[in-house]
Structure 1
Amino acid sequence: MTFQLKPTLLLLPIVIALGGCASTPETPTDPALMSSNQLFWAGLTQCVRLDSAGEQIKIYPEQAAVRVRPESFAYTWWCQDDIGQFLPSDVSSHPIPEADKPGDGLIGATIDETEGGFFVSWLTPNGPAATSEQLAVGDQIIAIRPTPDGKPYPVDNLKLSQLVWLIRGTPGTELQLTLLNAANSEPREVTLQRALAKQSDFLLVKQRQTDLKQKAEAKARKSLVIHDNTGSFMSPYTSDRVTAEWVNKALNANIGATAGSAVGAVAGAYAANKALESVPFGSFIGGMVGSKVGKNVGRNTAIESIGGWEYVRNTSDMSFRSLADMARYLKAEHGTDPNFSDVINATSQIYPEFATALASSQ
């Protein structure tokens, strides 16, 4: 059985009631009404798949019937594991009938749905669509014939999952797509042959998804930055990705680095939080540590010792609206820098709450 109970810190409060005992809510008998925890303790799990109409089908099999399988283009159940993730799975008690599956033949194209319709966003290298040279990134799909002699389906009222279902079919069979392109106002029809996709093709798609996610996250982080010193919190790094002069001054003066000092403890908050990430409620504990340290730091003394607030502001060319924004950005952009702990130390001297923000940032 793939599902395992991971080590968990269980808190069992003892309730003493003078006027009687509080009753525990009963677990529903219908699995569809159970929470994830209730399903788990009942020995069940939730599995889902989409049918040809794009509707979700749910089942609640016994955990022993579920076997997780490697991700691929294959049509499968997606079942929830003991930590809440949905993974591709075979369910021995509920095998999917072949008639209920889309075909395994693909055209090697990724399609995105926007407000304007369905557009080709990527072609798998050496896939059927790419090698045909009939389909291009940016093409809009306006109709589909699952078979060349079949009836056309306008895509206006289709869900993306329905369109993908119609595109898939038996390897070696053909389909027709009606396309529009910004470079040509006239629709065109193309005929493509489906082929069985390789696992290497799937890995390419997954890598592209990872790359797109990382780019989106980087773009979101960039939006957190104010590219001058007008924000409420000054960045310890400049736009050139080097430490600001006020940080260098604090580091050179070795302020707060005496053994056992509260400021010295701040430098370890980030490293300590990394160790706490594997502990239940670790981020909460880390936040408490950072908060306690922050209360013991003499902020005004630290600022004056490195030249005053105006010096800090004048030697900064990036700033943030909140410490949470600064922590999220710095952790992602500079968290692996060799001197990051030292920079945390210097920053926490003028922003005592920064250690807490960093400890709780994702």
Structure 2
Amino acid sequence: MSQFQRFQHGYTDCGREDRDGGIVAIFPEQTAVSKLPESPNYTWRCILPDEGYTVSPAMVSSHPIPEAEKPGDGLIGAKLEQTDSGIFIAWLTPNGSANASGEISVGDQVLFIKPSSGAQDVSTANLSITQVTWLLRGEPDTDVQLTVKRSDDENPRRVTLTRSSMSSNDLQASMAFEETRKQEAAAEARRSLVIRNNSGQFMSPYTSDRVTAEWVNKALNANIGATAGSAAGAVAGAYAANKALESVPFGSLLGGMVGSSVGKRVGRSTAIESIGGWDYLRSTSDMSFRTLADMAQYLKAEYGSAPNFGDVVKATSQVYPEFSAAFAAAR
């Protein structure tokens, strides 16, 4: 049965991670699933049809889990990240025991975890984030010992922390941190779209210091594309901007090129000539892109709220007629 068929028959999809880092999937009746407030103590994450088919923390009454099969509610107040070099502290909650100890810092590498006084040290070298989380969590008011190492210190040190429940303030701070991290990751992904010189196929209308490129300013001053919206408009706007072409014969013929590839090519060529040609366009650009889709995605996210952004898009579309479609499709 497909996911859609399950929804149609009154079921939904839920999942959780186990102590080995795997995913446990179940398909309970929708009536057995109750949405929970965002919390570090949830058991399942389920697709909730009543919430627009979003994935949310939930309780599933028809699939109870023994306490031994889920991590404890006691936390040390730290976010972790995993790199090729190991497990590291990414963030500390303001009121968590890790921050309160004064012995744990962002950037520390977690080498070993001793989950209880009678347990053995467990190396994190071959563990996933989920497995490390299971070791760190436990019942509130119990101790866990970490062996951590700072990048500027060759000697690892042992730190004993007491687990505690997360306060509502720390939960809000944690959610804000995750949102910030998500935004930073998205920004980094956008930055990877940019070529930091003019060697790409498509020149950016903005420079690296976040102002419009000279070729765009020239186009805007000349009012290129003021009648944008059709191939005829592009051609007419470009010709109007070029003083050398003030008197254009066959104007009615150009007007008949609406929507044609010929009209677009003529409009593009004229627009480029009117701002100084390709050499000028390229020489006044210090950023470029491999594809118009990359450029549209980057510009919309980085400059979409700029006061003159609409005019910049119009001017860019005269040089790259296909940019309008790429921009409309960009998210």
Same fold (TM over 0.5): yes
2:331 maps to 1:331: no
1:275-286 mapped onto 2 (5 Å cutoff): none
Per the alignment, do residues 264 and 330 of structure 1 end up closer, same or farther by CA in structure 2, a change over 3 Å counting? farther
**What are the superposed Cα offsets for residues 195-250 of structure 1, whole Å, 9 maximum, x if unpaired?**
11112212222222222222232223223223333322121112222222222222
* C-alpha contact 2:36 2:42 (8 A) present in aligned 1: no
Query: Distance in 2 between the 1:142 and 1:93 partners?
Result: 39
2:57 maps to 1:57: no
Query: Distance in 2 between the 1:40 and 1:295 partners?
Result: 50
Q: Report the 3-state secondary structure (helix = DSSP H, G, I; strand = E; otherwise coil) of the residue aligned with 2:155.
A: strand
Structure 2: runs of 5+ lacking an equivalent: 235-258
* C-alpha contact 2:42 2:59 (8 A) present in aligned 1: no
- Aligned pairs, how many? 303
Q: 2:207 aligned to 226, 235, 238, which one? A: 238
Per the alignment, do residues 186 and 312 of structure 1 end up closer, same or farther by CA in structure 2, a change over 3 Å counting? closer
1:1-362 mapped onto 2 (5 Å cutoff): 34-82=1-49, 85-258=54-227, 261-262=230-231, 296-297=263-264, 298-362=267-331
Query: Distance in 2 between the 1:260 and 1:188 partners?
Result: 66
* C-alpha contact 1:294 1:348 (8 A) present in aligned 2: no
Structure 1: runs of 5+ lacking an equivalent: 1-33, 266-291
**What are the superposed Cα offsets for residues 234-283 of structure 1, whole Å, 9 maximum, x if unpaired?**
21112222222222222222233238755769xxxxxxxxxxxxxxxxxx
Q: Report the 3-state secondary structure (helix = DSSP H, G, I; strand = E; otherwise coil) of the residue aligned with 1:191.
A: strand
Per the alignment, do residues 295 and 107 of structure 1 end up closer, same or farther by CA in structure 2, a change over 3 Å counting? farther
TM-score (normalised: structure 1): 0.76
Query: Distance in 2 between the 1:74 and 1:223 partners?
Result: 36
Q: Percent identity at matched positions?
A: 55
Q: Report the 3-state secondary structure (helix = DSSP H, G, I; strand = E; otherwise coil) of the residue aligned with 1:88.
A: strand
* C-alpha contact 1:263 1:348 (8 A) present in aligned 2: no
Query: Distance in 2 between the 1:323 and 1:349 partners?
Result: 13
Q: Report the 3-state secondary structure (helix = DSSP H, G, I; strand = E; otherwise coil) of the residue aligned with 2:154.
A: strand
Q: Report the 3-state secondary structure (helix = DSSP H, G, I; strand = E; otherwise coil) of the residue aligned with 1:137.
A: coil
Query: Distance in 1 between the 2:188 and 2:23 partners?
Result: 33
Q: For the aligned residues, what is the CA RMSD? A: 2.4
